[in-house]
Amino acid sequence: MSACLLAINAGSSTLKFRAFSADGQTLLARGMVDRFGAKDARLSLADAKGQQLDERGLGDAAHDTALAAVLHGLADQGLEARALAHRVVHGGSRFLQAVKIDADVRAALDDYIALAPLHQPVSLEVIDAFAGLDSRLPQIACFDTAFHAGQPAIATRFGIARHWHDEGVRRYGFHGLSYAAIARRLPEVGLAHAKVVVCHLGSGASACAIESGQSVASSMGFSAVDGLMMGTRPGYIDPEVILYWQEHEGMGVKDVRRELYKNSGLLGVSGISADMRELLASEQPAAREAVELFCYRAAREAASLAAALRGLDALVFTAGIGEHSAEVRARILQQLSWLGFELDHAANLAHARRLTTAGSRLPAYVLPTDEEGEMARQAARLL
């Protein structure tokens, strides 16, 4: 039996995992539990190259049943989990790097549920379920907020009374594990010390200004609702809209939260789907408008982050839409052509690493993200 480090990325209905060597450097296996928490949950397991190793129905909605199946599935392939690394969306101002989870840390993580109500509870449920299966198994929390902890103080403030900032109402930034993974890869394209805007475009979407591998500013702020338009989240919205909903539509906190997290973004604007692929294939005017707004907001935010950097050397696309949608990339780069981006259409359609022509004043790239790999590397340093 070979020891492995298991990186866990838990979502509301899907749990993705990857098994790495104990030093966090080598991918050994990957898999997911689809419809996580439902009675028709299914486990799939593949090797490092994506070759299917196992697939089975779990027949139980309980989290601990699904997680035990993950451990048993790995054991069937000769892999024994010796430690777990969890993606935890919010670490607030306290957790500025990965940390081993003990009783005090676990209790403190509850404090940030209100700041990440869509993501934080699921991660904590999974942590608790694994602890119930084997309390001796080391668990490490890896935070999406940590990469942004070194931002200039001015980039963390809202224009509100000072005491609110002191009480934690400030900009944090998210998708930090993804940005850390991209920052690690920037030297591959000669951008180790460059000023770069990275667009993480998926069902959740954000952008980050990175200089010399460090976060300078981010589109997301206090929560994962802010910034770019997303699959079901609106991105930036005038706060007065929320007051209007409450005062004139009689909406309570739960109603507003549902509207912001579940009913907005691509789904809300199109009235059709939160899936960019469906909207790009649709002839419906509302679908086209949703795509246009998504790209417009991404380009506008990228330009804003260039101002935070006081210059720009390159743009990088990553995550599901950023890595796989040539049309979305083309629209964003066209909107930003005034900055000096000249799209190479053939390279873009081929999903090449470099998207711009040799004569383009500024280059744009596609770099695959690797959140689980970043988690494994961070966790390995603590073991």
Question: Which of 143, 174, 202 corresponds to the end of one domain?
Answer: 143
pLDDT value of position 288: 98
Q: How far out from the chain centre does Cα 54 lie? A: 27
pLDDT value of position 53: 82
**Residue-number span of the structural domain to which 279 is assigned:** 191-371
Binding residue per annotation — 230?
A: no
Instruction: Check whether residue 127 and residue 260 sit in a common domain.
Output: no
The answer to whether residue 163 is domain-embedded is no
Give the tokens for residue 305: 């982050």
The answer to whether residue 171 is domain-embedded is no
314-318 and 27-34: which strand pairing?
unpaired
Instruction: Check whether residue 134 and residue 206 sit in a common domain.
Output: no
Instruction: Check whether residue 82 and residue 196 sit in a common domain.
Output: no
Binding residue per annotation — 277?
A: yes
Binding residue per annotation — 220?
A: no
Instruction: Check whether residue 117 and residue 216 sit in a common domain.
Output: no
CB atoms within 10 A of CB 281: 10
Instruction: Check whether residue 136 and residue 204 sit in a common domain.
Output: no
Binding residue per annotation — 190?
A: no
Q: Look up the CATH number of the domain holding residue 223.
A: 3.30.420.40
What are the angstrom distances between the C-alpha of 29 and each of 49, 182, 216, 330, 369?
Answer: 8, 21, 34, 34, 17
The answer to whether residue 247 is domain-embedded is yes
Question: Tens digit of pLDDT per residue, the chain (383 long)?
Answer: 789 999 999 876 788 999 999 999 999 999 988 887 777 888 899 988 888 888 888 776 677 888 888 898 899 889 999 999 999 999 999 999 999 999 999 999 999 998 888 789 999 999 999 999 888 999 999 999 999 999 999 999 999 999 999 999 999 999 999 999 999 999 999 999 999 999 999 999 999 999 999 999 999 999 999 999 999 999 999 999 999 999 999 999 999 999 999 999 999 999 999 999 999 999 999 999 999 999 999 999 999 999 999 999 999 999 999 999 999 999 999 999 999 999 999 999 999 999 999 999 999 999 999 999 999 999 999 98
In whole angstroms, give the CA distance from residue 129 to residue 347: 45
In 3-state terms, what secondary structure has residue 189? helix
Instruction: Check whether residue 199 and residue 138 sit in a common domain.
Output: no
The answer to whether residue 155 is domain-embedded is no
- Give the residue numbers marked as catalytic: 144
Instruction: Check whether residue 88 and residue 16 sit in a common domain.
Output: yes
Instruction: Check whether residue 130 and residue 198 sit in a common domain.
Output: no
Instruction: Check whether residue 242 and residue 102 sit in a common domain.
Output: no
pLDDT value of position 34: 86
Instruction: Check whether residue 248 and residue 346 sit in a common domain.
Output: yes
Binding residue per annotation — 278?
A: no
Binding residue per annotation — 159?
A: no
Domain count, the chain: 2
Instruction: Check whether residue 214 and residue 275 sit in a common domain.
Output: yes
pTM of the model: 0.94
With beta carbons less than 8 A apart as the criterion, state whether 342 and 354 touch.
Answer: no
| Phi–psi pair at 344, nearest 5 degrees | -95, 100
The answer to whether residue 185 is domain-embedded is no
pLDDT value of position 61: 63
The answer to whether residue 383 is domain-embedded is no
In 3-state terms, what secondary structure has residue 202? coil
The answer to whether residue 76 is domain-embedded is yes
Instruction: Check whether residue 139 and residue 197 sit in a common domain.
Output: no
pLDDT value of position 198: 99
